[in-house]
Structure 1
Amino acid sequence: MPTNDIAALPTTLLPSLLPALLRASVTLSVAAIAVFALRLPLRRCFGPGVAYAAWLAVPLCALAALMPAAPEGSVLALRGAPTALSFAATMRELAPVSPSMGVSGYIVMAWLTGALGAAALQIVRQRTYRRSLGKLTRRDGIAYTESLHAGPALVGLWRPIVVVPADFDGRYTPGERALILAHERTHASRRDPLANAAGAALRCLNWFNPLIHIAERLMRADQELACDASVMRRHPNARRSYANAMLKTQLSAIAAPLACQWQSTHPLKERIMSLNRTTPYALRMTGRLLIAAAMATGSWAAWAAQDTSKGELYDVAVKLNVDGAKSTPHLHTHGGEPASFRSGQGAQQWRAQLTLKPAGDGKMFISAIVTHAGKPVSKPGLLVALGEPATIKIDTEDKSHMEMELTVTQLPK
């Protein structure tokens, strides 16, 4: 770090978010593709509940990729294996972090704007759905809407309520009503509204990624099939009544981002056909164990595959002359990482960022971004030999002058 009147510059928050965003997005995509490929085989072999549980791997792997990486040289770390996460590393090199806004800052700003816009759209849709229910009349622990086309559904996150259409008592038989309520209460016991909220949040944060939009829709479909299967295990002789209740339920024209709607967008024929499939308990438990092991392995891989190598460590000895004021700071930095310093105060302050990249044959390429009074004045590049001094001289229109002599030496690890 620099000494005397030279102080290290903190990197700005927005550009520093870019590597984490890229890593999380790539990990989400890889995990989603894996679940796409496995959900149908899992459903056939172990039942819809196991296929639905597999979607938990998507956010878990993303969270694992955002955790601090394993220490370099750790036996837990994966090194040298080609993974999709290398794409994030490539993008980070194309849009490096800088003390000013830079390309990476604008990328993060665009992402944040899109995420806020997507969240606002989800809120509007949820409120529109809630208004479509009209005034709710509570009776016998359920809420009747004013509409004939809204519900049955489970609405709410923390204290969800079962919402049914105004003609619920007349449209369905007592047996069908009991099955519908069992279905919605199964959603409540499994905390499915919270899963829907998490899916909606991931869609907002990854508004630019079509894979996440597809994943959220398929997760909701698997959620309904898993709920159907759970109800059928408790009511094995009620398949015909359950199917009749599905056929009597109209598909709501207004989608609810957070609610669990009885008649989802999942193909009705597939839901009815799945009622005839029963998965033995032993297979369901085996599937759950396999999914738990796969999620643990995937999360570990997403965490351990992070690239923590920082390259060689270098010392940059600087002889600085700013308008006659001299100083001799030192910077310690890894190859490829920007190192920043400043000199002076107020409108006469100089700032410089240096990035070192090995060029082979004992040489180093130094790229610099120099600003004066908050404005960029020069972006010099130098090819220097290790241990040999190189000089950069800059003069501004207001007659200010900066000269820095740089000598780079490699430090032992």
Structure 2
Amino acid sequence: MASELWTALPALLSPVLPPLLRASCALSLAAIAVMALRLPLRRCFGAGVAYAAWLAVPLCALAALLPAAPTGSLLVLPAAAMQPLTTGIASLASPSASPGQAYLIVLAWMAGVLLAAALQISRQRAYVRSMGAAARRGGIAYAESPHAGPALVGLWRPLIIVPSDFDRRYTAKERQLILAHERTHARRHDPLANAACAALRCLNWFNPLLHIAERLMRADQELACDAEVVRRHPNSRRSYADAMLKTQLSANDAPFACQWQSNHPLKERVMNLNRTTPQALRIAGSTLIAAAMTTGSWAAWAAQNSAPEGQLYDIAMQMKVNGDTISPHLHTRSGTPAAMRVGEGAQQWRAEFTLKPVDGGQVYIASNVSRGGKPVGKPGVLVALGQPATVKFNQDDSAGMEMQLTVTEITKQGAK
């Protein structure tokens, strides 16, 4: 059983590669767009709008994974209109890798995901250990170390962590502002956003854009939180800046926590305290971002429907079914299943073929054969174009089928 599963793994894992690449490409394009627009958005509409724009990154990735709309659907733009996205997404989503190569790529990706996740969890645990045994007082937790916190730690029931000398280091006004900052993180569920970002980073460990985007997103998160606290306490900008200057940088970076003293540019945060964005502009910016995210997600989804059609192939068959010989032909495109039936009722044989081009003038034929509606087997054959490949099945009742398949390319002129 284990050997059969290991043999079937290439066929099971190779289909994962195209959607993985498609989602990664859509995610990268969205990340580039947000990185280019975050500063103009912050200047025009405020830090909160710039932070909200990062939601477009996972939305576009998810949209690229949705099932494609039927051909001719009104939701799908013509191929010419979607050519830029088609080039950026669809071309990368159809790599010319053999099933064995795709299998190795997927295994390497899975190993990288597990390693990246282990590193993230290790960093989070190191940060929690650096706090020591926290003592809860007044709804907040005082760490043993003066270098831990202020921070918001935890996903479902986050807890505000403050340094051991919190009451001595900060004035009453500064403590009020720090707690307001962390409670704003909790109200907006920012720890969950950080966890989702960490998960995306693990899944796309091979993509340097995601590592850059995560740090920029966390910076925008802090700026957006600062802006909201300042709006609620407009006369406390000086105290807020003093609290930032009194806070020491932590030696540990927590992937899932919201850290007051993380490595975000302190100068940028202090300067941002003096910026005030009218509510009308914030509403306009939020509306603009919502429209842009909707359009971007739809475009990422629609691009897969505009992908160029695969190569057209002819499958010439010599079939022996229960002693009879037939010679049918099938025309199919790469990646598109083609099926044929022979016989009637319980004696009917059905064979479905899906072709995938491979380097070196070869093609991989993935087949699914059934008899009388019951599965018989799923053989996979790697064969050179123009060379015959034989697949044979024998049943306990002496019934059998033997197929000799010869695959050739059909040129565009011949297809017309």
TM-score (norm 2): 0.79
Kept in 1: contact 2:316–2:406 (CA 8 A): yes
Aligned to 2:225: 227
Pair 1:159 & 2:157 matched: yes
Q: 1:76 to 1:24 in 2, by over 3 A?
A: same
Kept in 1: contact 2:46–2:282 (CA 8 A): yes
Q: Of the candidates 279, 285, 290, which is equivalent to residue 281 of structure 1?
A: 279
Q: How does 1:211-290 map to 2 (within 5 A)?
A: 211-290=209-288
Q: For 2:403 and 2:138, how far apart are their aligned partners in 1?
A: 82
Q: For 2:366 and 2:26, how far apart are their aligned partners in 1?
A: 36
Aligned to 2:83: 82
Tell me how far 1:337 sits from its aligned partner.
2.9
Q: 1:368 to 1:262 in 2, by over 3 A?
A: closer
Tell me how far 1:163 sits from its aligned partner.
0.2
Aligned to 2:404: 404
Tell me how far 1:275 sits from its aligned partner.
0.5
Kept in 2: contact 1:154–1:261 (CA 8 A): yes
Aligned to 1:95: 96
Aligned to 2:64: 65
Kept in 2: contact 1:224–1:264 (CA 8 A): no
Tell me how far 1:312 sits from its aligned partner.
8.7
Q: 1:51 to 1:320 in 2, by over 3 A?
A: same
Runs of at least 5 residues in structure 1 that lack an aligned partner in the other structure = 1-8, 342-350, 358-364, 383-390, 396-401
Q: Of the candidates 380, 387, 391, which is equivalent to residue 384 of structure 2?
A: 380
Tell me how far 1:318 sits from its aligned partner.
2.0
Kept in 2: contact 1:352–1:368 (CA 8 A): no
Tell me how far 1:95 sits from its aligned partner.
3.0
Kept in 2: contact 1:203–1:213 (CA 8 A): yes
Q: How does 1:115-130 map to 2 (within 5 A)?
A: 115-130=113-128
Tell me how far 1:254 sits from its aligned partner.
0.3
Q: How does 1:123-162 map to 2 (within 5 A)?
A: 123-162=121-160
Kept in 2: contact 1:132–1:150 (CA 8 A): yes
Tell me how far 1:108 sits from its aligned partner.
1.1
Q: 1:409 to 1:96 in 2, by over 3 A?
A: closer
Q: For 2:160 and 2:319, how far apart are their aligned partners in 1?
A: 72
Tell me how far 1:409 sits from its aligned partner.
12
Q: 1:136 to 1:72 in 2, by over 3 A?
A: same
Q: How does 1:5-16 map to 2 (within 5 A)?
A: 12-16=11-15
Tell me how far 1:408 sits from its aligned partner.
8.7
Letter of the 2:384 counterpart: P
Kept in 2: contact 1:48–1:229 (CA 8 A): yes
Report % sequence identity: 60
Q: For 2:90 and 2:242, how far apart are their aligned partners in 1?
A: 54
Letter of the 2:11 counterpart: T
SS at 2:136 equivalent: strand
Letter of the 1:89 counterpart: A
Q: For 2:165 and 2:9, how far apart are their aligned partners in 1?
A: 63
Letter of the 2:277 counterpart: T
Q: For 1:13 and 1:122, how far apart are their aligned partners in 2?
A: 29
Pair 1:198 & 2:196 matched: yes
Aligned to 1:112: 110
Tell me how far 1:165 sits from its aligned partner.
0.3
Letter of the 2:31 counterpart: A
Q: For 1:393 and 1:60, how far apart are their aligned partners in 2?
A: 44
Kept in 2: contact 1:129–1:254 (CA 8 A): yes
Aligned to 2:33: 34
Runs of at least 5 residues in structure 2 that lack an aligned partner in the other structure = 1-7, 340-350, 368-377, 392-401
Q: 1:105 to 1:272 in 2, by over 3 A?
A: same
Aligned to 1:392: 388
Tell me how far 1:308 sits from its aligned partner.
5.7
Tell which deviates more after alignment, 76-85 or 282-291: 76-85
Q: 1:137 to 1:368 in 2, by over 3 A?
A: closer
Kept in 2: contact 1:125–1:257 (CA 8 A): yes
Kept in 2: contact 1:334–1:356 (CA 8 A): no
SS at 1:83 equivalent: helix
Q: For 1:356 and 1:150, how far apart are their aligned partners in 2?
A: 55
Q: For 1:55 and 1:224, how far apart are their aligned partners in 2?
A: 13
Kept in 2: contact 1:392–1:403 (CA 8 A): no
Kept in 1: contact 2:338–2:354 (CA 8 A): yes
Q: 1:156 to 1:118 in 2, by over 3 A?
A: same
Structure 1 residues 354-400: Cα deviation after superposition (integer angstroms, max 9, x where no partner):
7488xxxxxxx9846699xx999973321xxxxxxxx73779xxxxx
Q: For 1:109 and 1:176, how far apart are their aligned partners in 2?
A: 51
Residues paired across the two proteins, number = 369
Q: For 2:125 and 2:272, how far apart are their aligned partners in 1?
A: 33
Tell me how far 1:405 sits from its aligned partner.
6.3
Q: For 1:239 and 1:296, how far apart are their aligned partners in 2?
A: 36
SS at 1:12 equivalent: helix
SS at 1:318 equivalent: strand
